[in-house]
Structures are given as C-alpha cells and as structure tokens.
Structure 1
Amino acid sequence: MLSLKKLDQADYEKKQNKKIERELPYFITIMSLLASSGFGPYTILQKIKDINLLPVIQTETIKILKKIDMLGVDPLTALSQAKDKPSSRALGEFLNGYVSAIQSGGNVVNYLKSKMSSSYDRLENLEKQSVEKLSGVVHGWLTMQIVILAVFILVAAIGSNPLTSSGDQTQSDPPYLLLIFSPIISIAFMKIVQKMNTSNIPEIELKKLLKFCLPPFIVVIVLIASNVLSNFHANAYILGIALVIASLWPALKFQKIYTINIHAESATPQILRDITEARKAGMGPEKCIIHACKRKDFKSFNIVANTIANKLEWGIPMSNIFETLQKEMKNFQVLVSFRILFEIISSGGGNVNTLDSLADASEKIHNIAKNKRDMLQPYVIVGFMLIVITGFTTLLTIDSFAEINQGKDVVHTNNAQQNTAPNSLLEVVSIAVVAQAWLAGLFIGKITKGAYSGGFMFSLLLTVITMASIGMIQLHVINIGSILKPASST
C-alpha cells in the first residue's frame, strides 16, 4: 500500500515537473520585468497570483502568499522555504538564486535577466528534444504500416494463408483480418502522441464535430449494409465521399482559427518592438500601444489589433481589453505577451528598458515556436508517402496479380468465379486504404500542428488522392499486368 502511494506521488511530481518546466520561462520573464520596474518580491507575487495563464505557477505562488499573509512569514523566508519543496528542480534553483541576490545586495535585475535568457535556451532545447521524439514515433508508425500491407500483399498474392494452410496452391480467402490492423495501429499511435505535442489552439468541440460528421457516416453505413450499389463496386467511393464531406467543415474551421493565431503570433513581437521604439521617442505608454496596434500589415490579426487601439482611445481599462482578447485568441504566446505588457503598463512600470526586454522575450518565444513548426513541417510528406507506398502500390500490385492470373491458360473452368474474386478483393482493400488515408491525415495533423483538428485538411486531401488512385487502377490507366504478360505468338 505504501509503495503504491509512493508511486502515485512520484508520478504526480513528474507531471508537475513537466508543467512547471513549460511555465517557468514565462514566470521568470514576469518577475524580471516587474523587478526592473521597481517592484519588490511581495508585490510581484501578488501580481502573478492573478495571472491564470500559468496555472501551476499560480498555485505555487498562492501557497507562498498564504504563508506570508496568514502566518506572518517574511517574503524572503517564504521563498526560501518554497525552494526546497517544489516539484521542479529548476524552479527551486531560480528561487534560491533570487533570494540570495536580494540578501547579498547584488544586482537582482541582472540576475533575473540572465536567468530569463537561460530559461528560453532551456525551452528551446526541450522543444528540439520533443521534435526528435516525434520523429521516432512517425518513423515507427510508417514502418508498421508498410510491414502490415506488405504481408497482406504477399499472402494475397500466394493465394493461401500460411497461418491456416499447408502452403499448397489451393485457392483460399485472402487474409482480410490483416487490413484491420493498419487503422488500429494508426489509432494507437494517435493516442501515443496525444501528450507529446500540444497546440496553442484548442481542439474543435466534439459536439460540433458530431453534428457535421455523424450524418455522412450514417448514410455510408446504410448504403454499404443494404448493398444498394454493390453492382457498381463503389463502396470505397461512398466511404471516401462521406469522409470528405465530414472533414470539410472542421478543416475550414480550424484552418481559419489557425491562420489568425499564426498571424497574431507573428505580429505580437512587431507590436512590442514598435511600442519600445515609440517609448524611446518619448510617447506615453498607452499612446505607444495605440500607435503600434493601428498598423495595417498584420493580415488577419488586423481587426483584433485595431480593436485594442480603439478601446484604449475610448478609455477602456486594460484588464477589460485583455479579457476580450482572451475570448478571441487562444494562442498562449500571444496572450502571455499582452498580459505582461498590460500588467507592466497598468502598474506604472512602462520604462524603455522593461519594454525592450519584453520585446526581446516575445521575439524569442516566437522564434522557438516557429522553428518547431518548421522542423515538423516535413512530416506532412509522410502522409502522402503512406498513400503512394502502401496505398497505391498495394492496390496496383493486387490488380496486377489478378490480371496475370486471368491471363494464364492453366485453368479454364469457373471463369465467372475467378473474375469476381479479384474485384471483391480489390474493393475490400480499397475501403481499407481509404479509411487508413483519413486516419493518416489526423495523425499528421497532430504531429505538425499539435491538434487532431488540424489534420482534417490533410485527411480530406489524402482521401481525395486515394479515391483518384483507386479510379486510375480500376480504369487500368497503369496496368503492370499487361506489361508482364508474355507476348502472343502469331
């Protein structure tokens, strides 16, 4: 019983450590900028307590403030006690250095700025490590898919199932069960990467997804189960069209949100840099924000930025402006940058050095996120490779073997049955490949954009490509069987 409790406690501390590691750079940034504005430890903790963008740090801060307010502990003593208890070693080291710098009379601001810079370097290394882990998962997923479909091709081509047959040339049913493993493995890998890559943009709500996805799936189930179109061998097309229709709305919805957030992420460092330069010219802090947010080159973020400027001109408090911004934007980097900006200026600390440090921090945040996206972007090709290698090649090979077998003059009986079997096999494989293409899109979306919702566009494109491949094979646009047939003697 005690060992189970220890394991649970260790698991909890490990999870807390990961969360704190993610929030720590922003926590250090806030402390550094507020300290450079002249605020002491207690005031800084009071302000961080109200920042809900950093929930784990907020919880740790509330614990420290309770010791100060309820037990009358000195702020530095409370921080010294806290450094020995947090789950994150990095947080403990930071608090220890912060307290030591104050007690020794050292330059606290320089210490905080150096820790801020090193924390972003640490965050960049963590992101690179996460990309390497994702790379290993993607290669493992691709290898598994290729192996499964290669085994299916071999067994189907031989014409006997080695698991149940002695290996003679008698005709047996193809191993359709193998086709189920590809979608199952894709779903398993999608579960594996669930926590490995997260997005600043939340997933589309499940209720809204079901509203648009359920009707096409119900129609597909009815049509395939009733065999209404069985004579046309169109089940793969029916499934593909349904998947395209189901993916269309979430793909467009997420793409719109994603584009706005990317433009906002790119515009935020520019806005903060403009604010800094305007402040150097002698403008007031609020006027600097108004001047920077009235630019027209922020693309889809223009409306939001211009709204911030207009509300400041109308005299609306910055806290209310941020609440509105938080409802419209879900990008963490954008929100934390504006939250720090508004907190600094509303507290009267908008000096040039502080704003310059904030602009530098925002640029680092943007560059880290952009570099991670750029490193993950090539994995979009993996989804298309999957279709070309395992989808198109599988269908083409099976169709070619069928053509070769039909061209042999070894057996002259049961021609109708022999012509039906290849069509049935090709149709079943086509359905499996269409389903696999759709799941592959969701997997690639999670890898590259951090959200399953970001994969609907890839799913849509891969499904269309797969249906085009099936059509090319059925129409014999590419026919290896005819190439391999022996030339007829004249």
Structure 2
Amino acid sequence: MLIHGGCMNVRLRKRREAVTEEALPKPEEPLTFMDKLDVFAYSLFGGISSRVARSFEFDKYLSRAGIDVSPTLYAARALLFTLISTYIAYMAITSTILFAEGMMVKILVLIVASMIPLMTLSFFLIYPSLKASSRSKDMEHELPFFAAYISTMIRGGLSISAALERLSRIKDLPGASMEAKRILRDIKVFGKDPISALEDSVKEHPNRYYRDFILGYTSTVRRGGDIIHYLYSKTEGLFEAHAAMIKRIADKVALAAEVYVILIVLVGLGFYIFFAVSTMMPGQTASPFSSIVSLILFAYLLMPLLSLITLLMVDAMMPKMVIPINEPNKTLILSIPLGIGVTLAVLYATGGWSFIQSGVINRYTVVSTIFALSIGLIALSTPPALHYSLLAKGIRGFEDDVASFLRDLVEVRKTGISPERCIIYTSRRSYGRFTPLVNDMSKLLSWGIPIRRAIERVISRTKNWFVRVLLTFLAEAIDVGGGSVEILEALARFSFSLAEYEKELRARIKPYIMMPYFGALMTVVSTILIVYFTSQTMAILPSKPPITMEEAVFYFSTSMIINSWLIGLVAGKISNQQTMAGLTHSTILVFTVFATLAIMNAMLFQF
C-alpha cells in the first residue's frame, strides 16, 4: 500500500506540474530585425501613416496581393525607408558638392541621388500591384489542376474543407496550396463556415477565373444544385481556357524571341557600325560615338543588359510548371574561380598578360585575350551544364506515357481487381520513359508497402512536374475514393488534356530556340566585316584615327564573346523554362563565336 500510495503521489505531482506549466505564459519569440524596424516605423509615423494608407488605398491593394500586413504599418514602413533613402541621397549630394571636381560629375550625382527617394517610395507603391499580378498569374496557371483536384476529392465523398486541407499539403501547386491555406485559416482561426470563407477569399482576388469558379461553386451549394456536374463541366471549360492560354504564352514568347533577335542583330549591329566608323575614321573626335568610353558602355553594359532584360521577360511569361533544379547553381558558383583561373593561366601561357599589363593592344593581345576569355567562359559553364544535364536527364517526354498508363489502369480497374494489383499488372507493359517509375511502384507494392507510400516514394525520385502532379492526384484519388473507376477515369481524361497542352507549348516554342544562335552569328560576322572594310578605308587616309584596328577588334571581339554567353542563357530559358539549361547553349555559342572570330581574323587581318 505504501508503494502504491507513493506511486500515486508521484503521478499527482507530475500532473500538477504539467497543469502548472500549461497555465504559465509561454515565453514569446524574440522580435526579428524587421519586427523591430516595423515598431520603430509605426512609433515614428503612426499618425500620418493612417492617412497615407487611406490616400493610396493600401487596404485594397494589399488584400488583392495577399499581403497580410496592416495598411497603416505598410505605409509607416514605406515612409521610414523613404526617409532613410532621403538621408542617403542628401549625404551623397553634400559629399559630391564639397569634394568632387567637375560640373558634369556634380550634375550627374545630383540627378541620380534625387531619384533615390522617389524610386524608394515608388517601389512601395508599385509592389502590391506586382504581387497581385504574380498571384493572379500563378493561380491562372494552376487553376485547371486546382479544379480537377477539388472535383476528384468531392467526387470521392470529401467535404470542401477536407479537400482544401489535403490540397494545402501539395507542394507542387504552390499557388493553389497558398489559397487553400488562406481559406483554412479563415475557417479554423476566425470561425467562418466553409462557404462564407470561400466567398470572402475571392472578394478581392485579382484572378477573375478563379473568382468565377469559387463563386459558381458556392452559388451551386446554396441553391442545392448538382455540385459534381458543375465541378466537372467547369473543370473541362478551364482546361479549354488553359489550352488557349498556352497558345497565348507561346505567341508572347515567340514575339519576345523575335524582338530580341531584331534588337541584337539590327539595333546592335547598327550601333556597332556607328562605333566602328566613328572610332576608326579620322576627324570624328567630336562625334558622340567616337569616344572609347561610349563604345565600352555600349558593348559591355547595354548589350548584356538587353539580354538580362529579355531573360526576365521570358521568365515572367512562361508558366511555372517545372520543378526548379537548384543544385547546378552551387556548381556554377564553385566554377567561378575555375573560370577565372583558366582565363589567367591561358593569358600567362600565351604571353597576353604582359601586353595587357603594359597597356598596349596589338595582335598578340587580341589573339591571347579572345582565346583566354573563350576558354575561361567554357570552363565556367561546362561543370554546371553537365551537372544540370545529369539531373534533368529523363525529365521531359513523360506526358503521353503517363496518360497511357492511367488509361490502362482504368481499363484494368474495371475488371474489379484492387488498385494495387492493377498497378502490378500494368507494369508488364512498356510506357517509354515512364516504365522505370511504374516498375518501381510495382516492386514496392509487391513487397507489401501501402500504395500511398509507394506512390510518394516514386514521386520523390522524379523532378518532372507533370508526373509529380498526376501521381499525387492518383494517390489522393485512391486514398479518398478507393480507386473507383469513375474517379480514375476522370483523372485519365484530365491527364490526356494536360499532355496535349504540354506538347503544344513545346511544339510552338521549339522553332524559336535557334533564333538566338542566328542573332549571335549574324552580329559577329557583320561586325567583323564592317571593321575590316573600315580599316581598309582608313589605311589610305593620311590622318591618324582615334583607335587602331587592333583596338577595335579587341573591344568588339571580347564584347561579342561575353554577349554570346548571355544569349545562350536566353536560348535555354526559351527551350526548357530554366536558366541553368542555357549553360549548354552558352558553351556551344561561345565556342562557335570564338571559332568564327578566329577564322575571320585569320582570313581578314592575318591574326
């Protein structure tokens, strides 16, 4: 009895300690730097920030953007950063006036510094609109998959809340997952009923297609209509709209590629001609194009900037339907010392470094620098390009194979066997590139692993966005609906639609992959020819030109090699929707441009 009483006392004491710990207030998490900055901003501009928020309608724009920040706090943050940028601009202007020499420098610094506070305030004003546009675009790309998933789950007997709960855990649909989390927050935290939470979530949503889909669903539920029929018919309509959207995206990307090539070839070539003639012809020192500084700014700043802008534009246009492969980014960073080291080693080996140190540009300097820069860029690009190729191997070309697998799975399921036996049976067939994944699923199921875990393991082994989404849908359909024929048949039908849209997007973009190659080679050949003909004309004139022929070839050749490397990134972005895929194109382009320059320099200038 004493032992029993002692045990009871120990249990009661532990229970009292647990209750006491629960009753005591938990220590709050420490404030981050941004939290402290927000507190300071609100304490400094608390009064005026509310009026600023009302004047610029921050509540409306923040709600559309999905930014969960108080409008007053956002306005205070904007005012604080504008004040800081104003102080920085004031210090820059004061230092320039006191210590800088030259009126042009003072005017330039005054103009640039005075724009800093305006640009800071403009950023805070524009950022919600940019965020809303990004939110709308992400949801527009994922809306057919969102509708197909909700239709499949509700057809399997789940409520809309349970369907959204499952959707919020799907990482391959980040936009739809985030919208589901917002709706679930209103349901669980604020106590709203699911229908009201759905309606409130789309009141200020920037995408009208998503808003129409949700409001149509809630209206069908309120009036007691056929929910399944509405969801399926609406999903089919969304897939048709998705096909039209893919055509528009392909047209925009094609237009961007055409404009880019026009700018690279025509505008770039035109300026190269201006600089070649103005810098090499005597008596042109008063021309704005005759300055070597202007030539360097154009060749090494403006042209690369044009490629980077095109890269960002294509990235904004393309649908986010790929799993990013980030590992080659680290390889690229680690390859930077390799590229620099190879460039310096080649310069030392060819004797070009001594000429560069002396500041004399002659034929040896031109040949050595072109060769060293080309080899260095190839050394920089090759390791991450190989790394990306190994990781991306087998990612594309799954669409038809996955759709065929799901169609066969439906036909076998109609015989009445379990979903597990269906997958094992269908693994006897060949599904192209998808066959290894089907065989892996079959082996895992034959070992007694549950079907959901088997599918999740296969999903973790591939980076193909299409395969991951459809296999996730398959796992959810079997988990919720028991793998009923109706649900699997709907999933197979949706997969065929997705496969056709993916193939159409690639087919429409594929012809434009070679356009950057055409632009780079056309610019190289035309520019070198212009330099050659200008040098021949210059040779018969008695006056001395601003720069020599060797200097002109040096500046133009090195800049075109650098620009060709960036053009390759644009080609990769157009073809594979990933910038790292362009490193292979960059390597090929750098080698091609170098070979073209070497042949033309040897034939025309005897370098």
TM-score range (shorter-chain normalised) is 0.7 to 0.9
Partner Cα separation in structure 1 for residue 282 and residue 139 of structure 2: 53
* Residue 305 (structure 1) aligned with residue 428 (structure 2): no
Deviates more, 1:28-37 or 1:7-16: 7-16
Deviates more, 1:156-165 or 1:115-124: 156-165
* Residue 182 (structure 1) aligned with residue 279 (structure 2): no
Q: How many residue pairs get matched?
A: 469
Q: 1:92: how far off?
A: 2.8
Q: Is the 8 A contact 1:204 1:250 kept in 2?
A: no
Q: 1:388: how far off?
A: 2.5
Choose which of 203, 217, 227 in structure 1 pairs with 2:340.
217
Choose which of 369, 384, 403 in structure 2 pairs with 1:235.
369
Give matches, 1:36-115, under 5 Å.
36-69=155-188, 73-84=192-203, 86-115=205-234
Residue 355 of structure 1 is matched in structure 2 by 488
Partner Cα separation in structure 2 for residue 138 and residue 389 of structure 1: 15
Partner Cα separation in structure 2 for residue 173 and residue 32 of structure 1: 65
Q: 1:114: how far off?
A: 0.9
Q: Is the 8 A contact 1:247 1:459 kept in 2?
A: yes
Unmatched tracts of structure 2, length 5 or more: 1-51, 64-127, 356-363
Q: 1:296: how far off?
A: 3.8
Higher relative CO (Cα under 8 Å, sequence separation at least 6) belongs to 1
Give matches, 1:8-407, under 5 Å.
8-9=62-63, 11=129, 12-69=131-188, 73-84=192-203, 86-146=205-265, 147-157=267-277, 159-160=280-281, 164-165=285-286, 176-177=295-296, 178-180=298-300, 181-197=302-318, 198=320, 200-205=322-327, 206-221=329-344, 224=347, 227-228=352-353, 230=355, 231=364, 233-299=367-433, 301-403=434-536, 405-406=538-539
Residue 87 of structure 2 is matched in structure 1 by none
Q: Is the 8 A contact 2:570 2:582 kept in 1?
A: yes
Partner Cα separation in structure 1 for residue 531 and residue 148 of structure 2: 60
Choose which of 580, 586, 590 in structure 2 pairs with 1:463.
590
Root mean square deviation, CA, Å: 3.2
Unmatched tracts of structure 1, length 5 or more: 482-490
Cα separation, partners in 2 of 1:427 and 1:200, compared to 1, 3 Å: same
Q: Which amino acid aligns with 2:555?
A: V
Q: 1:313: how far off?
A: 1.6
Q: Is the 8 A contact 1:201 1:258 kept in 2?
A: no
Q: Is the 8 A contact 2:385 2:584 kept in 1?
A: yes
Q: 1:44: how far off?
A: 2.5
Q: 1:59: how far off?
A: 3.6
Cα separation, partners in 2 of 1:229 and 1:137, compared to 1, 3 Å: farther
Q: Is the 8 A contact 2:369 2:558 kept in 1?
A: yes
Q: Is the 8 A contact 1:399 1:473 kept in 2?
A: no
Q: 1:294: how far off?
A: 4.7
Q: Is the 8 A contact 1:13 1:87 kept in 2?
A: yes
Indicate the SS of the match to 1:176: helix
Cα separation, partners in 2 of 1:85 and 1:166, compared to 1, 3 Å: closer
Q: Is the 8 A contact 2:148 2:494 kept in 1?
A: yes
Q: Which amino acid aligns with 1:114?
A: S
Report Cα offsets for 1:118-167 as digits up to 9, x if no partner: 11122222222222332333233223323133222234235348984269
Partner Cα separation in structure 1 for residue 184 and residue 163 of structure 2: 11
Q: Is the 8 A contact 1:251 1:454 kept in 2?
A: yes
Cα separation, partners in 2 of 1:199 and 1:342, compared to 1, 3 Å: closer
Partner Cα separation in structure 1 for residue 230 and residue 411 of structure 2: 25
Q: Is the 8 A contact 2:323 2:464 kept in 1?
A: yes
Q: Is the 8 A contact 1:33 1:344 kept in 2?
A: yes
Partner Cα separation in structure 2 for residue 187 and residue 390 of structure 1: 18
Deviates more, 1:61-70 or 1:17-26: 61-70
Report Cα offsets for 1:401-449 as digits up to 9, x if no partner: 334554x4x65x99xx99x932332233211111111110001211222
Cα separation, partners in 2 of 1:151 and 1:50, compared to 1, 3 Å: closer
Q: 1:26: how far off?
A: 1.0
Cα separation, partners in 2 of 1:83 and 1:456, compared to 1, 3 Å: closer
Partner Cα separation in structure 2 for residue 172 and residue 40 of structure 1: 71
Q: Is the 8 A contact 2:342 2:372 kept in 1?
A: no
Q: Is the 8 A contact 1:160 1:173 kept in 2?
A: no
Cα separation, partners in 2 of 1:228 and 1:134, compared to 1, 3 Å: same
Say which one has the larger Rg.
2
Partner Cα separation in structure 2 for residue 184 and residue 44 of structure 1: 46
Partner Cα separation in structure 2 for residue 175 and residue 162 of structure 1: 17
Q: 1:367: how far off?
A: 1.6
Q: Is the 8 A contact 2:384 2:583 kept in 1?
A: yes
Cα separation, partners in 2 of 1:78 and 1:216, compared to 1, 3 Å: closer
Partner Cα separation in structure 1 for residue 299 and residue 405 of structure 2: 53
* Residue 433 (structure 1) aligned with residue 566 (structure 2): no
Q: 1:480: how far off?
A: 11
* Residue 447 (structure 1) aligned with residue 580 (structure 2): no
Partner Cα separation in structure 2 for residue 440 and residue 70 of structure 1: 50
Report Cα offsets for 1:360-410 as digits up to 9, x if no partner: 11121122122111111122121121122211221133124334554x4x6
Q: 1:78: how far off?
A: 4.1
TM-score, reference length from structure 1: 0.85
Q: Is the 8 A contact 1:380 1:448 kept in 2?
A: yes
Cα separation, partners in 2 of 1:172 and 1:109, compared to 1, 3 Å: closer
Partner Cα separation in structure 1 for residue 582 and residue 394 of structure 2: 17
Partner Cα separation in structure 1 for residue 525 and residue 153 of structure 2: 59
Indicate the SS of the match to 1:193: helix
Indicate the SS of the match to 1:23: helix
Q: Which amino acid aligns with 1:156?
A: A
Cα separation, partners in 2 of 1:351 and 1:155, compared to 1, 3 Å: same
Q: Is the 8 A contact 1:179 1:429 kept in 2?
A: yes
Q: 1:188: how far off?
A: 2.9
Q: 1:471: how far off?
A: 1.9
